[in-house]
């Protein structure tokens, strides 16, 4: 499989193998599953950590949990971006440009955290 079209042929073979594996797995599932699955007593009742559930089945989630999760992801991405920057920082020709780039990046993140702080989004109630 050399040449220009060889790589496409290899890609086609891998895709065909993936589709074949998918069809084989679902076919095996259809052949091996029970025709009429049993419906044991109590299968459809609510279950909550081994005890009967208390209260209704609807609970309101606070938006602040999502805000904290979003901020965590934001700063985790920042940390991932800092590692490659730290690796190329000491190479010749990258010093000034790398510092300027990282300065802009950290400044934008600092503005975002300052905005969240001023809007009192980070305050836990």
Q: Supply the CATH number for residue 51's domain.
A: 1.20.58.1610
For the cut 70, the answer to whether the pLDDT of residue 8 exceeds it is yes
Q: pLDDT of 88-100, one tens digit each?
A: 777 777 777 777 8
CB of 37 within 8 A of CB of 82? no
Q: How confident is the model at residue 125 (pLDDT cuts 50, 70, 90)?
A: low
Mean pLDDT of 41-59: 71
Structure pTM? 0.41
Domain of 26 in residue numbering reads as 4-119
125 is a domain residue: no
Give per-residue pLDDT as tens, 24-37: 999 999 999 988 87
103 burial (CB, 10 Å; 0-12 / 13-18 / 19+) is exposed
């Amino acid at each position: 499989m050399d040449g220009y079209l060889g790589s496409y042929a290899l890609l086609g073979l891998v895709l065909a193998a993936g589709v074949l594996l998918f069809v084989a797995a679902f076919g095996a599932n259809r052949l091996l599953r029970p025709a009429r699955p049993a419906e044991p007593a109590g299968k459809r009742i609510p279950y909550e950590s081994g005890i009967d559930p208390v209260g209704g089945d609807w609970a309101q989630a606070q938006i602040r949990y999502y805000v904290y999760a979003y901020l965590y992801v934001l700063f985790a991405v920042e940390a991932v971006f800092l590692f490659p920057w730290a690796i190329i920082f000491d190479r010749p020709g990258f010093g000034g440009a790398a510092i300027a780039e990282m300065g802009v990046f950290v400044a934008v993140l600092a503005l975002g955290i300052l905005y969240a702080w001023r809007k009192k989004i980070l305050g836990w109630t």
